[in-house]
Chain A
C-alpha cells in the first residue's frame, strides 16, 4: 500500500526537505515505522527513549486522529493521507513552590519588620505572606546551615526545621557563625535554635537532633515546602536528593571544600536532579572533608547565603533560580563560573523509567562506598598515644613518620618524626628499616591509614602502626602543652 505522508516543518530537515513522502504499510503504525526506517534521523523527534511514539505527536489519517480510530492499528490503503501533527505545548516556570496563601495575614509588627521586602515589587505583601506560610528544612547546622538559618529566619520564613546530630566544638567556630563560644558541647540544633529565636522570635523552629536516614527522610521532608542541603557528605546528599524527587520538592544544594564552593537547585519537576549531574559519588576517601582538608572561613557564608537567596525565590516565586545551573565559586581567585546541567532521561530516580522508587530499599552507605571501604581494607594496626609514649619511654627503637602537610607541621611538630609526604612513600620506602616498628602519624589518624596501605601495596614488609586519632590524641592524652587543631 502506498500511503502519502505529509511531513510537518519540524521533521523536514530529516527528510531532505521533502514535505510529502510516499511510504508503505498496512496500518498507520507500520507507515510511521517505515518513515523512521527510511529516515532514521526522524526517530529522535518522533519516539521517546523506549521507542514509543511521543505522546504529543498526533497521527491523522484522512483528517481523523487515530486515537479516535484504532490507534497504531488503524488500517490504511493506497490513496490515504497520513499527517503527523504535533500538539504544541509549553508553559512558564514555577511561580512559587507554595500554593494559595491568600488566607495568610501580616500583622502591623510584621509589616514593619519586613518593610524592606515589602518595598520590593517582586516580593511585596504577596511574597511576604508566602514566606510566612513557608516551611523550610535545613539539613546540617554547620558552615552552610548557619547563614541559611540566619537569613531565612530574618526573612520571615514561617517555620524552619533544622536537623543535625552533632555537637558544637571549637573547630566549628571559625565559620559556623550561628554558634558561639559558650555553645561548645551543646547540640548544634539547640544552639542554632537559640540564635534563630534571637534573630526573629516569630519563626517557629523544629529541631531534629539525629541523623537523616533512609528510614526517616520521607516522613521529615514531607512536612516541608523546600529543603536546603547543607550537609557535608555524599550519602546525605543523595538521600536528600532522592527524598526530594520522590516527594516533588526542590533541593537547594550547597557544598564546599577548601576555597571552592558550589550551589544549585535540584528540582526534578522543573529540571535536573543531583543524580542527573553526579550519577555516582567519587570513591570514598578520595575527597577529603573540611576536617582534613580545611576550609576558608567566609566561604560557607557565601555559599550558604546563595542557598538562602534561592530558597527565598522559590517561595516568593519569579526570578531566575539555579534550576539547571551549577554555580561554582572560587574564593581564592574570587571567581564565579556557571555550568549548565541537563536532565538525564536515564536518571535512576527522576528519569523516564526510574529504578529507585523506595528509599528504605536503597543502600546509601554501600552506594557511597562507605561499607566497602570498611570491609575491603585489611585492618591497619593501631597504636594508642599512651602506648606509643610508654614504648618510647622504655627506650624501644621505633621509627615515626609524619605524613602531614608542611603547613600543618608549622602548627605543631611531632616529636622528632621523620617527614615523608604520602606521595613519596613508595619511592622512599628503603629509608625505613623493616626490622624496626614504624608508626605513621597525621592529624587525626586517617591519612596515616592511607600511608600504611600505600606502603603495604608497594610491598613493604615491616610492621606498621597507625597512631590512633593522630597528633590530636597525643596532645589530648600525653602532652597537653601541644595544640590540637
Chain B
C-alpha cells in the first residue's frame, strides 16, 4: 500500500502532461513503516537522462541526481520510497525494460499519458524473491 496525497498526485499528473510526448520521471520522498506501507510526503521531478529520441519510451534518473536526492532525504529525515514515470500513449503496465531495471521495495508508479493527458495511474513493487512486479494499492489521502 502507498498513501499519496492529492498534492503528490497532482504533481505527477502535471509532470506527465507537461513533458508529453516524452516520458517524465521523478522521485517520491516519504516514510516506510515496518509493514512496508509507504506514505509519500512529496514528489520531485527529475531530469530524464536519455537523449531526445529515446525519451519517448525510456527514462533514466542519472546517478548524480539520485545521489543528491539521497542526501536531501537524509537531511530531511525521509526515505526515497519510490519513483514515478509516464508511458506516453501507452498502457500503464510495466515493460520488460522496467522490470529488468527495477529494484525491490521501491514503489514504481506508472502513468499512462494519452494525447497529453494522464488517463491511468498504477503502482508496482518488485518482489525480491522472484524479481517480478506485482501491483501495489494506491490510497489517496488528503494532506494533514
Contact = CB atoms under 8 A, between A and B. Distances in A.
Interface of A: 6, 8-14, 17, 41, 44-45, 56, 58, 60, 63, 65, 83, 85-95, 269-271, 318-320, 323-324, 340, 342-343
Interface in B56-112: 56-64, 66-67, 70, 74, 79-81, 83, 85, 87-91, 93-98, 101-106, 108, 110
Interface residues of B, number: 48
A441 to B, nearest CB: 51
B132 A93 contact: no
B130 interface: yes
B138 interface: no
Contact of B66 (A41, A44, A88, A270): A88
B2 to A, nearest CB: 13
Secondary structure call for the B interface: mixed
Contacts of A56: 101
Given A13-B104, A44-B131, A92 B63 contact: no
Interface in B109-144: 110, 128, 130-132
Contacts of B80: 8-9
A93 B106 contact: no
Given A8-B80, A9-B81, A88-B66, A93 B128 contact: no
Given A90-B98, A91-B95, 8 more contacts: A6-B70, A10-B104, A10-B105, A65-B63, A89-B59, A90-B85, A91-B57, A95-B90
Contacts of A45: 103-104, 128
A6 B73 CA distance: 12
Nearest to B67: A85
Contact of B23 (A41, A86, A91): A91
Interface of B: 23, 25, 27, 32, 34, 36, 49, 56-64, 66-67, 70, 74, 79-81, 83, 85, 87-91, 93-98, 101-106, 108, 110, 128, 130-132
B95 A92 contact: yes
12 contacts: A9-B79, A10-B103, A13-B104, A58-B63, A58-B67, A87-B49, A89-B49, A90-B59, A93-B97, A94-B95, A323-B96, A324-B96
Nearest to A12: B105
Contact of A270 (B25, B27, B79, B95): B95
Nearest to A55: B101
A87 B102 contact: no
Contact of A85 (B57, B58, B63): B63
A56 B62 CA distance: 10
For the complex of A and B, list the 5 residue pairs with the smallest distance between their C-beta atoms, beginning with the closest.
A92-B87, A91-B58, A90-B98, A93-B95, A58-B63
B93 A320 contact: yes
Contact of B102 (A12, A90, A270, A271): A90
Nearest to A63: B67
A11 B23 CA distance: 27
A293 B1 CA distance: 50
Contacts of A87: 49, 60-63, 66
Given A9-B105, A45-B128, A92 B96 contact: no
A92 B131 CA distance: 19
B63 to A, nearest CB: 4
Contacts of A83: 67, 70
Contacts of A94: 57, 95
Contacts of A319: 91
A342 B133 CA distance: 11
Contacts of A65: 63-64
A333 B90 CA distance: 34
Contact of B101 (A8, A63, A90): A90
Nearest to B79: A9
A343 B99 CA distance: 10
A302 to B, nearest CB: 24
A13 B95 contact: no
A95 B57 contact: yes
A122 B49 CA distance: 29
Nearest to B62: A87
B103 A318 contact: no
A13 B59 CA distance: 26
A439 B32 CA distance: 75
